[in-house]
Amino acid sequence: MNKASLVSRLSKAIGAAYVVHRPEDLVVYERDAFLVGRALPDVVVLPRTTEEVAACVRLARAAGMPIVARGAGTGLNGGSIPIRGGMIVALTRMDRIVEVDAVDRTALVEAGVANAELTSHVAHLGLFFAPDPGSQVASTIGGNIGNNAGGMHCLSYGVTTNHVLACEVVDADGNVFWAGSAATDAPGLDLPGLLCGSEGTIGIVTRAIVRLMRRREAVRTVLAIYRSFDEASRTVSQIVATGILPQAMEMMDEEGVRAVESQYSLGLPADGAAVLLLEVESTASAADRAMNELRAICAAHGAAELRIASNEKERHDLWKARKHFGGALGHLAPSNYVQDGVVPRHQLPAILARIREIGRRHQLRIANVFHAGDGNLHPVILFDPREPGMTEKVVRAGEEILKACVDAGGTVTGEHGVGIEKREYLGWMFDDATLNVMRRLRDRLASRGTMNPDKKLPIGSHEPFSYATAAMLGETST
């Protein structure tokens, strides 16, 4: 089938307005938030129903095209970039919250519902959807499932996989099936577990039944400011050792503090070496008790200042520093490359020293923010892609950082997933026998060439990734 005939058949199936095929319109879909790669699809479809998704998949298969599922395109690993061309199935028109069960605390939602939209929708019931990636205003439930997204409160609530009971899926042949069940303890293989984090390589999630959490009676928040990063890290280890599990334990290094302060003037000290944000949620008395203990641990480990929120506005103000981190970096450099590694918590000071050494050696500026409670770090490399050779240098430095995480006993991703970016790094963590089991499983469910090809698992080459990187180098600006 040629492209004109495919476009005509797709238009009949879902309406011509929802089939994007002109080169100037396709450009919108050439990237996600992985700012060092891009590639054009041949066609993009915006179906409204599961049946329409299935019809599009069948037509793509008949045309021999690879298929890439896309939510909001906020992914940071190039997962929704169509590196082999083909059809992007964008789920953003499937944005209905179909049903909320306030008693059993579940919701049936379409895959294109934005994460924060679901929480707003159920807020009047005292409920919320726990996974809260920094992108939650835009990122979709389908994309959260694709990447098994985490977030700032996932330390105690768990990541997306802990909140998905069942998914409706369109497979690589255009068949529709349900994985999992609304009933707890569903028997059979854990298919929702397999789909969470599969990055669109197995099928397209069209609807999901997700768990909702009940808001706790009280929230207590404290921001601790340190003159030494090591003291802040030791505080984190001590908190974990005492058995207190804050809902959030976020940390920012000196460069991060300076970046936020220079843009938003939040009153953070210019010589602050780290800030630690702690939040507990519980009954009022239990939250107060935990907060008193946390404050004592911070003080005992050298916190120079503690700022405690006494009302919702003050809490919001304390979170500003953390939530404005990404925006602040946008003011400092034309582009940035966000990394996502994990180390055992006690390794935080050592990995920070290593990241600084890598930054110095490559003459790169790197700011760091951490989901400190689970040792998940996000070094952000600031750069200008217009400088010749800069993008390659940045990617090399990112690779060295991740290798250092693995050498320290950690992993190459805490929550952003693998995509094209980290595909080849999986060999640092898994032997061939293990990787082959993963490949066989994927290929039985969707052969390598069909659903999001050459993502998630090693192919033994950086080729498509290098290609995407090279394409970027000719640019004048991002």
Ligand X SMILES: Cc1cc2nc3c(=O)[nH]c(=O)nc-3n(C[C@H](O)[C@H](O)[C@H](O)COP(=O)(O)OP(=O)(O)OC[C@H]3O[C@@H](n4cnc5c(N)ncnc54)[C@H](O)[C@@H]3O)c2cc1C
Q: Reading across the β-sheet that carries 67-70, which strands appear in turn?
A: 19-20, 43-45, 87-90, 67-70
- By beta-carbon proximity to ligand X, the closer residue of 134 and 375 is 134
CB 166 within 8 A of CB 207: no
What string marks each residue from 123 to 162 as x (binds ligand X by CB under 6 A) or -? ----------xxx---xx-xxx-xx-xxx-----------
- Interacting span for ligand X (CB under 6 A) from 73-81, 264-272, 347-355, 383-391: 73-81
Q: Write out the binding residues for ligand X, residues 201-240 only, by CB under 6 A.
A: 204-205
Q: Is 70 in the site for ligand X (CB under 6 A)?
A: yes
CB atoms within 10 A of CB 173: 12
Note whether 148 and 417 are within 8 A (CB). yes
What is the footprint of ligand X within residues 344-363 (CB under 6 A)? none
453 binds ligand X (CB under 6 A): no
Long-range Cβ contact pairs of 26-31 (< 8 A, separation 24 or more) = 29/70, 29/73, 29/82, 29/88, 29/90, 30/81, 30/82, 31/73, 31/81
Return the number of the residue (151 or 341) whose C-beta is nearest ligand X. 151
Confirm if 291 and 241 have CB atoms less than 8 A apart: no
Least Å from the CB of residue 259 to ligand X: 14
Q: Coil, helix or strand for 53? A: helix
Residue 147 CA to residue 336 CA, distance in Å, equals 20
Q: Which amino acid is at 439?
A: R
- Residue 207 tokens read as 């609807």
CB of 134 or CB of 256, closer to ligand X = 134
Q: Per-residue string for binding with ligand X, 32-51, x by CB under 6 A?
A: xx------------------
Site track 422-451 with ligand X (rule: CB under 6 A), x = hit = ------------------------------
By DSSP bridging, strand 67-70 and strand 87-90 are parallel
Identity of the residue, 291 or 336, whose beta carbon is nearer to ligand X in the bound complex = 336
From residue 170 to residue 199, what is the string marking binding to ligand X with x (rule CB under 6 A)?
-----------------------------x
- Cβ closer to ligand X: 347 or 376? 376
Characterize 57-69 residue by residue with b for buried, 16 or more Cβ atoms within 10 angstroms of its Cβ, and e for exposed: bbbbbebebbbbb
Region of 22-30, 72-80, 238-246, 257-265 interacting with ligand X (CB under 6 A): 72-80
The burial of 266, by beta-carbon neighbours within 10 Å (0-12 exposed, 13-18 middle, 19 or more buried), is given as middle
Q: How far is the CB of 328 from ligand X (least distance, A)?
A: 12
| Residues 304-333, mask of contacts with ligand X (x by CB under 6 A) | ----------------------x-------
Q: Where along the sequence are the contacts to ligand X (CB under 6 A)?
A: 32-33, 68-76, 79-80, 91, 111, 133-135, 139-140, 142-144, 146-147, 149-151, 199-200, 204-205, 326, 415-416, 419, 452
